Amino acid sequence: MIDADDLISLVRNYNPRTDEALIRKAYDYGKRMHEGQYRRSGEPYFSHPVAVAAILTEMRLDDATIVTALLHDTIEDTGANYDEVAKLFGDEIAELVDGVTKLTNLQLSSTEARQAENFRKLLMAMSKDLRVILVKLADRLHNMRTIRAMKPEKQVQKARETMDIYAPLAGRMGMQWMREELEDLAFRVLNPEARNSIIRRFVSLQRETGDIVHQITSDIRAELEKNGIEAEVFGRAKKPYSIWRKMQEKKQGFSRLSDIYGFRIITQTEQDCYRALGAVHHRWRAVPGRFKDYISQPKSNGYRSIHTTVSGRDGKRVEIQIRTRQMHEVAEAGVAAHWSYRDGVRAENPFAVDPARWLAGLTERFGNAEDHGEFLEHVRLEMYSDQVFCFTPKGDVVKLPRGATPIDFAYAIHTRIGNSCVGAKVDGVRVPLWTRLKNGQSVEIVTAEGQTPPATWLDIVATGKAKSAIRRSLREADRSRYMRLGRELARVAFEHIGKKATDKALATAADTMGLESADELLARIGSAEISARAVVEKLYPELVGTEAEEEIEASRAIIGVPDGQTVERASCCQPLPGERIVGITYRGRGAVMHAIDCPVLAEFEDQPDRWLDLHWHSGRHKAEYAVTLDITISNAYGVLGRICTLIGEQKANISDLHFIDRKPDFYRILIDVEVRDIEHLHAVVTAIDADSDVASIERHRNLEAAQAGGAGEGAGGVQTPSKAVLHREPF
């Protein structure tokens, strides 16, 4: 453990005006408060806060942040409290220490709902003062460096949390060195065999090729000197985890992986960056598609650099980053460069990003999430994303994550443009909407009025903003459809008891049931969350009080049938309780019952003496009335079984099923379903229609059966429809 003098010396190296007394006071206070506490390794506990402070000196941070590191565990693990810290060290440091304490208590690897809420708290803490998360990242880095002392199961938990949350967060803040070290330390715990294998391969490669990093570095220096460019050149092999990730992404073995070395050229001026790029490309062949200019198009965290990959010595690919000294400082410190000191004053780096502006941009993209799943999705997309820069036809720059599509581009401009997008042109050429955009491309969006985003877009887009907007549009579209269906169900239910589903009645029912509005009530009825009968019972309990207890038999379901005469349901329209009906009499056969809108009735308009005025008995009927549904479903594993299950869940029975069209991507089937009434049918249809693998569902009208004389229900079950006479009436 380094002592107070050594720590002060580290700070004085970049900040000669440091408040030595304040740091010494914090050192002594923290050491006293942690007296008698030990880490699992057996070291005094205070060695950890001191190590965290030392890590932060590498980023040349201010005195308040260094003191916070020394005290960051005092409120949580000792007898110290907020008021005491504020009294001794001031409100600013007390706020920072309290913020780190709250972050430490967040369980970021808990259940999804809890994790999302804790992510929100993490962002709130960052928004108050970003130095809180800098201390927390340094705290996690030292804990990962010393993780071997922990129990194995705790090591895995912390390593997974580091890989999923803290490493990407460090990268998003521009602290790439910390991200790489955190990832590699976590990789050592999560997959030690793979890491050791890569290290062994490196050792073997060095034996075969010698010190290739030194060789290539010398080659680059010589080329720059030949062109009169003053610059520093550094080279290194990439971290084991970085290589492992490339192997997984490219599905290649180590021997086939070429760009495992990285080199940096640090120049004096921006002009020298481009001169160095020209010298490198003149000497070695550039690899197509591996060039990025983050100087002209910097990242949101202030990162600026030119990236290129060339075929170097012996044809080996090497990645080269070119930037100025100031750009390099920001590339190392990221957003933390805003607080870095040099010679006792805050460094005036023109490329350092204002943390408040960076956080505002980050939280704005997260703020649209409406539930825990969406929020976590937004966070993970943002944490892991690299960026591409595309242009509008007017030349405006649009920043998007890698893998973004023209749909993401459209939503980045405006939600209205995204929702109405029907096509796109990239560099003047029409392309599919699922095309992945590349740096520097010009994108033109084609829109059309009335267009709404389909659900399939969710699998295409890459940005959280686009996903959120598409889901919102889909919900609104479903709501409109459910409201229309709910109004029809309510109308039928109210007519059962001789009432009308007026706007006032629906508004009263909504208020009684604790809902915001009649529209909300109708949407819930249409989506089968609330039954229309329940609404009627809420408003008119005296009219339906006992009806639900007794089911009406089919033999007494029809009112208006003359004595001694039988009546059958027509198989052409399959009328159900709740629908208006009429009867057509046949000599020696009784009557056949049709729905009032059945096209077959047109044949009997000039025979009024054969018509019977019929209506259904009011009440709850048995689920024994077969109705045929025409359904088109995806030809995918388990879809038909799921549809059958949905029907069963609605307490309906399948009496027959017939495939009428088979294609590679879809099936069209007719299913006979036994239901109680029209309301029950609507509930079944709604449940099926909500399934994402159902392309369409309609009530089947089989006029062929009527023309063949099969008017009765028992005259033939499901029949294959003829296209010449098939009439299908959608709900």
Please name the residues in contact with 231: beta carbons below 8 A apart, sequence gap of 6 or more. Answer: 224, 265, 266, 267, 268, 272, 276
Of 76, 84, 92, 377, catalytic: 76
Nearest to 349 by CA among 367, 364, 370, 335: 335
648-675: buried (b, 16+ CB within 10 Å) or exposed (e) per residue? eebebeeeebeeeeeeeebbbbbbbbbb
CB-based contact 553:546 (threshold 8 Å) = no
Categorise residue 335: left if φ over 0, alpha if ψ from -120 to 50, beta otherwise. Answer: alpha
Please name the residues in contact with 111: beta carbons below 8 A apart, sequence gap of 6 or more. Answer: none
Q: Is residue 446 within a helix (H) or strand (E), and if so which, with residue range?
A: strand 443-447
Q: Is residue 324 within a helix (H) or strand (E), and if so which, with residue range?
A: strand 317-324
Count the Cβ atoms, other than its own, within 10 Å of residue 152.
9
Q: Which residues pair with residue 38 across a beta bridge?
A: 44
Paired tokens of 176: 């790439």
Determine the distance from the C-alpha atom of residue 671 to the mean position of all C-alpha atoms in its chain, rounded to a whole number: 36
Nearest to 134 by CA among 302, 329, 338, 325: 338
449-473: buried (b, 16+ CB within 10 Å) or exposed (e) per residue? eeeebeeebeebbbbbbbbbbbbbb
Of 19, 20, 43, 77, catalytic: 77
Q: What is the C-alpha to C-alpha distance for residues 618 and 639, in angstroms, rounded to an integer?
A: 37
Q: What is the C-alpha to C-alpha distance for residues 410 and 430, in angstroms, rounded to an integer?
A: 15
Q: Which long-range contacts (CB under 8 A, 24 or more apart) does 605-609 make?
A: none
Q: What is the C-alpha to C-alpha distance for residues 518 and 149, in angstroms, rounded to an integer?
A: 62
Q: What value, to the nearest 5°, has the Cα angle with vertex 482 and ends 480 and 486?
A: 120
For residue 310, the one-letter residue type is V
Paired tokens of 514: 């604790």
Paired tokens of 260: 């495992």
CB-based contact 643:666 (threshold 8 Å) = no
For residue 211, the one-letter residue type is D
Paired tokens of 430: 């029409």
77 part of the active site? yes
603 part of the active site? no
Tell me the catalytic residues: 76-77
